[in-house]
Amino acid sequence: MVDLKGQYEGIKDVVNESIQDVLETTAFVNGPKVHQFQRNLENYLGVKHVIPCANGTDALQIAMMGLGLKPGDEVITADFTFAATVEVIALLNLTPVLVDVEPDTFNIDIEAVKKAITPKTKAIVPVHLFGQCANMEALMEIAKEHDLYVIEDNAQGIGAKYKYSNGEEVMAGTIGHVASTSFFPSKNLGCYGDGGAIFTNDDDLAHIMRGVVNHGMYERYHHDVVGVNSRLDSIQAAVLDAKLPHLDTYNRARRNAATKYNAAFVSHPNIITPKTTNGELDETYEYHVFHQYTLKIIGTDRDALAKHLNEKEIPCGVYYPIPLHRQKAYLDSRYREEDFTVTNRLVKEVISLPMHTELDDEQIDFITQTVIDFVNNN
Ligand SMILES: *Cc1c(COP(=O)(O)O)cnc(C)c1O
């Protein structure tokens, strides 16, 4: 699905040099590289505060702790996402409230969010699934009206832009009260281990979260709040700082590949290409960073297609095969199947094709032709 080796070959010298710097200084935790990367990422995103941490799951948890959410508070999030999002809600004894998603963008459904709001609701966690922002303008309006926090799960959308209806553009992860991201190796900005970060423009919240990531300490050995130990290590920061200047180029390469996939499938009635919310996709389109390129397959057994692709040695993935509301850990007697008709359908129809920065035309032709042939004949 990804070609980390091919990508490394292209940036080997800078990455090696950046790691070597850390080895020479031996500042392995919270060293100068971490601060340098933090500042560079703040500049790239145009956000006041980046707080590096150990992984994207911790980032979500720290954001919720920082906001002071309390047991019993309800947090609304999407049924169709990676489990990390709902996991931390449950872990903090908050009440997850899963809602359906939109059939074409795969992102949280605005009407479903509105319906799920109760007096106990305290936050909404939209996930910018597969690299395209949820409808943030609508969500921020709802949040304002009901006095809710919005926590963007931006693990899949780093580098994407978001466009308001008045034309104003901002980076994904800088819109809500706080946002989280992951630097897991396969993410769009990946390190060579685990890593994550939290973003916010709120000075007070940033201050609280800087303590939370470090055992609740604001002054050495004074523990003012219950915290966690969640640090980005300096070697990972060195890799990330070397890769950050390439992020836009990498995302452009992903968009290029997505544009070629789209062109191959465009007229096929049973292969539905991913919808872009700001018009037609081309190289200059900056609102989708294609963490995944995800098709919907109609009228052909998706699992049979996945098996066929694997036999042809084409990697593929099903993100995600089971709705969260039907996962044993997150069952809730309040959920009704008719409230999840879209997710229930998507889990059977979606398939993600190889998507990374090193895909070439020959590979794309082989992949698209294999998919089309199978769908035509089955
Ligand atoms: C990857 C991911 C996470 C978790 O990130 P980790 O760094 O693996 O903990 C959370 N949410 C979403 C949507 C993700 O894709």
Q: What is the value of pTM for the model shown?
A: 0.97
Q: Is the CB of 155 under 6 A from ligand 1?
A: yes
CA of 81 to the centre of ligand 1 (A): 9
Tell me how far the alpha carbon of residue 169 lies from the centroid of ligand 1, in angstroms. 25
> Per-residue pLDDT tens for 164-200?
999 999 999 999 999 999 999 999 999 999 999 999 9
Kindly state if the Cβ of 339 falls inside 6 Å of ligand 1: no
Residue 61 Cβ inside 6 Å of ligand 1? The answer reads no
Q: To test ligand 1's pocket by mutation, which of 101, 130, 182 has the most ligand atoms within 8 angstroms of CB?
A: 182
C-alpha angle 169-64-181 in degrees, rounded to nearest 5: 45
Please report, rounded to a whole number, the percentage of residues in the chain having pLDDT higher than 90. 96
pLDDT surpassing 80 at residue 210: yes
How confident is the model over 229-252, as pLDDT tens digits?
999 999 999 999 999 999 999 999
- Give the mean pLDDT of 79-93: 96
Mean pLDDT, the chain, whole residue set: 96
For ligand 1, whether the C-beta of 196 sits within 6 Å is yes
85 close to ligand 1 (CB < 6 Angstrom): yes
| 3-state class (DSSP) for residue 66 | helix
pLDDT, tens digit, for every residue of 284-294? Answer: 899 999 999 99
Strand 95-99 relative to strand 74-78: parallel, antiparallel, unpaired?
parallel
Tell me the pLDDT tens digit for each residue of 331-366. Answer: 999 999 999 999 999 999 999 999 998 899 999 999
pLDDT at 240: 98
Residue 87 has pLDDT above 80, yes or no: yes
CA dist., res. 86 & res. 126, Å (int) = 11
Distance 257 CA to ligand 1 centre (A): 23
Confidence of residue 282 (pLDDT cuts 50, 70, 90): confident
State the average pLDDT over residues 78-106: 97
pLDDT band for position 68 (50/70/90)? very high
Tens digit of pLDDT for each residue in 119-155? 999 999 999 999 999 999 999 999 999 999 999 999 9
Which residues, other chains included, contact 155 with Cβ-Cβ below 8 Å and sequence gap of 6+? 56, 82, 84, 127, 180, 181, 182, 184, 187, 196
Q: Whose CA is nearest to atom 14 of ligand 1?
A: 155
Return the ligand 1 atom nearest residue 59 CA.
9
Annotate 51-62 with DSSP letters as a single string: EEES-HHHHHHH
214-226 pLDDT per residue, tens: 999 999 999 999 9
